[in-house]
């Protein structure tokens, strides 16, 4: 039996008159890959932003590893084991690959950036430990030989893997990935696919947003479908891909409403 790591209940938020996310509930067990899919504007990134503490959710609750964490800041959620990547690449292009990976360690320590700039003794020790950890992570994502390369010179697929490496520096219990294969070719997508499966196999819960349906169908244990901010279906890949409401949402025939 796998324990529920993330549980969201009745999450909702409005922007002006628009209900971007409306009463959405689902859960993600440890070591499993749950994908959140839906057409453009369905509310996937908004839901990520609510779960990761960027938007305070107007309604609903979030529990992480059995504890209620609703309303906590991204920093506190990161300390409790929730890590994420962003739909728009957030890599420092003029820094090396290693420096980018090391940056992941500093996301978990408040005040460490200033201490590091001042090169305080504790921060030098920490820097050594972070570098060791970062090299280990780069090996895990297949970038160990690019450690000293300027990040801006990496291929797109490698940049996406670097972003995952940096998110893993937090040693997360759950990893939220917002379109990790966007802009990648088939080979790069497959590498990311394997990496995500490997991270899940190590016991981390994965919540994935991805438009590449082949990838989603291949690696997901469970799929949650959003349309116009509402959950219209969930289940295993085979069941979801046969669901008429899901097919209608993707064909743009009025989405869930057309099926009711």
Given the rule CB under 6 A, which residues bind ligand ATP?
15, 18, 20, 38, 40-46, 87
- Which of 36-44, 137-145, 192-200, 211-219 is the region at the interface with Mg ion (rule: CB under 5 A)? 36-44
- Residue 46 interaction partner, one of Mg ion, ligand ATP, none, beta carbon < 5-8 Å per kind: ligand ATP
CB of 121 to Mg ion, least distance (A): 43
Exposed, middle or buried: residue 71 (CB in 10 Å: 0-12, 13-18, 19+)? exposed
In the chain, how long is the greatest CA-to-CA distance?
64
Backbone torsions φ then ψ of 148, nearest 5 degrees? -95, 5
Closest-CA residue to 210 (of 224, 198, 229, 191): 224
Backbone torsions φ then ψ of 237, nearest 5 degrees? -55, -45
Q: How many CB atoms lie within 10 A of CB 134?
A: 23
**Choice between 48 and 105, CB closer to ligand ATP:** 48
- Residue 40 interaction partner, one of ligand ATP, Mg ion, none, beta carbon < 5-8 Å per kind: ligand ATP
Q: Provide the 3-class DSSP secondary structure of residue 21.
A: strand
Token pair belonging to 123: 């921060």
Pairing status of strand 67-68 against strand 59-64 = antiparallel
Q: How many CB atoms lie within 10 A of CB 125?
A: 10
**Choice between 55 and 156, CB closer to ligand ATP:** 55
57 lies in the binding site for Mg ion (CB under 5 A): no
CB of 66 to ligand ATP, least distance (A): 27
CB of 51 to ligand ATP, least distance (A): 12
Beta-bridge partners for 175? 83, 206
- Residue 94 interaction partner, one of Mg ion, ligand ATP, none, beta carbon < 5-8 Å per kind: none
Q: Decide: 8 and 26 in contact? Cβ < 8 Å.
A: yes
- Residue 28 interaction partner, one of Mg ion, ligand ATP, none, beta carbon < 5-8 Å per kind: none
Q: Provide the 3-class DSSP secondary structure of residue 260.
A: coil
**Choice between 18 and 76, CB closer to ligand ATP:** 18
**Choice between 106 and 228, CB closer to ligand ATP:** 228
CB of 176 to ligand ATP, least distance (A): 12
- Kindly tell me which residue out of 22, 32, 35, 45 binds Mg ion, with binding defined by CB under 5 A: 45
**Choice between 35 and 123, CB closer to ligand ATP:** 35
Q: How many CB atoms lie within 10 A of CB 201?
A: 10
CB of 42 to ligand ATP, least distance (A): 4
Site residues for Mg ion per CB under 5 A? 44-45, 87
């Amino acid at each position: 039996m796998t324990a529920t790591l993330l549980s969201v209940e009745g999450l909702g938020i409005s922007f002006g008159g628009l209900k971007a996310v409306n009463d959405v509930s689902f859960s993600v067990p440890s070591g499993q890959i749950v994908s959140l899919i839906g057409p453009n504007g369905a509310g996937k990134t908004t839901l990520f932003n609510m779960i990761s503490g960027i938007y305070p959710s107007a309604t609903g609750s979030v529990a992480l590893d059995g504890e209620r964490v609703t309303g906590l800041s991204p920093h506190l959620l990161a300390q409790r084991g929730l890590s994420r990547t962003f739909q728009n690449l957030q890599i420092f292009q003029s820094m090396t690959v290693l420096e980018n990976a090391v940056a992941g360690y500093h996301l978990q320590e408040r005040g460490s950036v200033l201490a590091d700039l001042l090169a305080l003794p504790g921060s030098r020790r920490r820097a050594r430990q972070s570098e060791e950890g970062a090299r280990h992570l780069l090996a895990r994502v297949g970038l160990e030989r690019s450690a000293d390369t300027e990040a801006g010179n990496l291929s797109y697929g490698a940049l996406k893997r670097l972003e995952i490496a940096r998110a893993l520096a937090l040693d997360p219990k759950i990893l939220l990935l917002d379109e990790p294969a966007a802009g990648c070719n088939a080979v790069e997508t497959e590498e990311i696919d394997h990496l995500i499966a490997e991270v899940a196999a190590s016991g981390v819960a994965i919540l994935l947003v991805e438009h590449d349906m082949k990838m989603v169908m291949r690696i997901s244990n469970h799929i949650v479908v959003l349309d116009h901010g509402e959950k219209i279906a969930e289940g295993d890949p085979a069941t979801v891909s046969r669901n008429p409401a899901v097919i209608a949402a993707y064909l743009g025939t009025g989405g869930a409403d057309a099926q009711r």
